[in-house]
Chains A and B, each alone.
Chain A
Amino acid sequence: MPVIELSDVSRAFTVTSRAGLRRTKREVRAVDGMSFTVEPGEVMGYIGPNGAGKSTTIKMLTGILVPSGGSIRVAGVDPSRHRLKLAKRIGVVFGQRTTLWWDLPLKDSFAVLQKMYGVPMARHRENLATFVELLDLGDLLDVPVRQLSLGQRMRGDIAAALLHDPEIVYLDEPTIGLDVISKARLREFLAEINAARRTTIILTTHDLDDIEALCTRVMVIDHGHQIFDGTLDGLKSSQSAPRTLVVDLATSLPPIVVEGATVTKVDGPRQHLSFPPTTSAAPLLAQIAANYPLVDLSVAEPTIESVITQLYAPTPS
């Protein structure tokens, strides 16, 4: 029984642009005919370039925005019609801005949330203790939110979004602007929450390491359309991003000639060769070893960045 169901969901915005005295209205489809389902406990990475429609989708799933077409069901209800009811069952983190009270110490924000969501006191204490430990919030509880650093605030925001034991958590760019250690800690925490509570997590990000570390499923969208839905490995192999063979020769040579691969870069005795992912590296090696003075070699797999870049690049329209 899926916890999130979208069928043919669209969201159009009217954009008014002004040229001189003339005002022209134009309809932009931020999300266009999106359909997918998410099962309980899934961790889905939702990625796409800026303006692809990620935040719009998240806002429709929380009920903030009303879709202009199609139907959405989250935890069995229509989010925009039952926004207040659904609010108790979801947690939301907007990476760019806090949902906490700017002037209040973190612990006061937490206390208000406990009352707002009607979390039983015992459960609240238990959750708070867990999050304070896992997110290392102990020293921050008395600090007003406005005085927290970005990473500290993000930890506070994430704890706040989880205090009422939501079934679904939306994280809109939770690691944006964080340093490497904070990112790693956050991912670890989310993985732990997902494992321990079977919380469904939808994560939008520009950081592909987030996806690599957390997500069992990736959805790529662009121009409001879904362009990939599957596992991370599936995403990597679905694309024809070339692999790279780096060979170190005994001496500097002009670009070597190898059947099935092309030299992309010559750097003294080191040469970079590009070959399609469908080709095996072994026969290429045999060829090179037979014809050239080969000293050392390495094979570089396509990075997820290059895979994604390839996905975004051709937009059939």
Chain B
Amino acid sequence: MVEPILRAPSQYWMLIMMWVRSSMAYPASFVLMLFSSMVLTVMDFVAIVLMFSHISSFGGFSLAEMALLYATASITLGIADLFTGSIERVGERIRTGTFDAYLIRPVPAFLQTAADGFALRRIGRPLQALVVMVFAFSRLDVDWTVARGIMLVVSIAAGTVIFGAIFVLGAAFQFVSVDSAELANSFTYGGQTLTQYPLAVFGKEIVRAVTFVVPLAFVNYYPVLYLLGKPAPLGLPSWIGLLSPLVAVVMVALASLAWRGGLRRYRSTGS
């Protein structure tokens, strides 16, 4: 149990480097793709900036605060997408029967599926979001302490893991329903769109749903509220923003169970 986990990072690294090398065979094309990925994904933020030429506050958030929400949503999804987004292709692999090829290799099928077609150009999204985050902090008056700095970094890591777990859950569901890739996308890419806004503007029902059902609010919303010293919605305590790592652990446990369950189902139906 422990040994495979220890070996996993180097095995994963080896697999993704293979794809990186092959995409670097055409450097000009890679740079172009990276650039277009950054431009495409930054458009969401441009829309927010345009919105703020007419209003000065949205759901109690200033432009700089919105920039922080946007940046954290985009960085977390972007990194999760980079490292686990490819796993959504598992349904296609099951359908075409090429998933079997992963099961005859001495590396866990999970790592092979997650690394399948690793696209470094997807780093465009978190990169542009990082720029937006620098902009946000240059305009925000946060009382920085070491604890706050650590909290920000840990929250971003936890948010990334939560998105990653949702990618994996979606992929696991494809063992049951091969054509369900879009369903998972609505929670990941759709979730990113949702979490770049102050969730309270969507109403209590949505806030409840993203707190207790699909914990997207823990990706960035609650941590950002805590960082900015804003009250949490639904009468929740403000320290709820510190719970993201815990939520991430729970999500990883769920995703891991689901993936194992899916794999077991595949191996016993052989469909």
A interface residue numbers (CB < 8 A to B): 13-14, 56, 59, 62-66, 68, 80, 83-85, 87-88, 90, 92, 94, 96-99, 101, 103-105, 108, 111-112, 115-117
B267 and A104: CB pair below 8 A? no
B270 and A94: CB pair below 8 A? no
B253 is an interface residue with CB less than 8 A from chain A: no
Expressed in whole angstroms, the minimum distance between the Cβ of B45 and any Cβ of chain A is 32
B142 is an interface residue with CB less than 8 A from chain A: no
Complex Cα distance, B96 from A105, in Å, reads 21
Expressed in whole angstroms, the minimum distance between the Cβ of A125 and any Cβ of chain B is 18
Complex Cα distance, B105 from A64, in Å, reads 10
Complex Cα distance, B268 from A21, in Å, reads 27
B203 is an interface residue with CB less than 8 A from chain A: no
Which B residue's beta carbon lies closest to that of A115?
B14
Partner of A112 from the list B18, B100, B269 (CB cut-off 8 Å) is: B18
A63 cross-chain contacts in B, Cβ below 8 A: 103
Number of residue pairs spanning A and B whose beta carbons lie under 8 angstroms apart? 67
Partner of B267 from the list A64, A88, A101, A115 (CB cut-off 8 Å) is: A64
B261 is an interface residue with CB less than 8 A from chain A: no
A88 cross-chain contacts in B, Cβ below 8 A: 106
B interface residue numbers (CB < 8 A to A): 4, 11, 14-15, 18, 21-22, 96-98, 100-101, 103-108, 117, 267-270
A97 cross-chain contacts in B, Cβ below 8 A: 96-98, 100-101
Expressed in whole angstroms, the minimum distance between the Cβ of A34 and any Cβ of chain B is 16
Partner of A117 from the list B96, B106, B267 (CB cut-off 8 Å) is: B106
Expressed in whole angstroms, the minimum distance between the Cβ of A108 and any Cβ of chain B is 6
Secondary structure at the B interface, as helix, strand, loop or mixed, is helix
Expressed in whole angstroms, the minimum distance between the Cβ of A200 and any Cβ of chain B is 16
A104 and B18: CB pair below 8 A? yes
Expressed in whole angstroms, the minimum distance between the Cβ of B252 and any Cβ of chain A is 21
Given A64-B104, A65-B267, A87-B105; 6 other pairs, CB 8 A cutoff:
A56-B270, A63-B103, A64-B270, A85-B106, A94-B97, A117-B106
B22 cross-chain contacts in A, Cβ below 8 A: 103-105, 108
Known: A94-B100, A97-B96, A97-B97. A108 touches B106 (CB 8 A): no
A116 cross-chain contacts in B, Cβ below 8 A: 11, 14, 105-107
Partner of A84 from the list B4, B96, B98, B100 (CB cut-off 8 Å) is: B4
Complex Cα distance, B267 from A98, in Å, reads 19
Cβ contacts A to B, 10 pairs, < 8 Å: A13-B270, A64-B103, A66-B268, A92-B104, A94-B101, A97-B97, A98-B98, A103-B117, A104-B18, A108-B18
B103 cross-chain contacts in A, Cβ below 8 A: 62-64, 83
Complex Cα distance, B117 from A99, in Å, reads 15
Which B residue's beta carbon lies closest to that of A60?
B270
B14 and A112: CB pair below 8 A? yes
Known: A62-B104, A87-B105. A13 touches B269 (CB 8 A): yes
Complex Cα distance, B117 from A90, in Å, reads 25
Complex Cα distance, B85 from A232, in Å, reads 51
A14 cross-chain contacts in B, Cβ below 8 A: 269
Which B residue's beta carbon lies closest to that of A170?
B104
Complex Cα distance, B267 from A87, in Å, reads 15
Q: Sort A-B residue pairs by CB-CB distance and give the 9 closest, nearest first.
A: A99-B101, A87-B106, A92-B104, A64-B103, A65-B270, A88-B106, A66-B268, A112-B18, A115-B14
Known: A84-B4, A116-B105. A64 touches B100 (CB 8 A): yes
B11 cross-chain contacts in A, Cβ below 8 A: 116
Which B residue's beta carbon lies closest to that of A116?
B107
B101 cross-chain contacts in A, Cβ below 8 A: 94, 97-99
A87 cross-chain contacts in B, Cβ below 8 A: 104-106
- Most chain B CB within 10 A, of A64, A80, A92, A105, is at A64
Expressed in whole angstroms, the minimum distance between the Cβ of B115 and any Cβ of chain A is 10
Expressed in whole angstroms, the minimum distance between the Cβ of B117 and any Cβ of chain A is 7
Expressed in whole angstroms, the minimum distance between the Cβ of B121 and any Cβ of chain A is 14
Which A residue's beta carbon lies closest to that of B264?
A66
Expressed in whole angstroms, the minimum distance between the Cβ of A173 and any Cβ of chain B is 13
A56 cross-chain contacts in B, Cβ below 8 A: 270
A80 cross-chain contacts in B, Cβ below 8 A: 267
Complex Cα distance, B4 from A87, in Å, reads 14
Which B residue's beta carbon lies closest to that of A157?
B101
A90 and B104: CB pair below 8 A? yes
Expressed in whole angstroms, the minimum distance between the Cβ of B60 and any Cβ of chain A is 48
Complex Cα distance, B101 from A59, in Å, reads 11
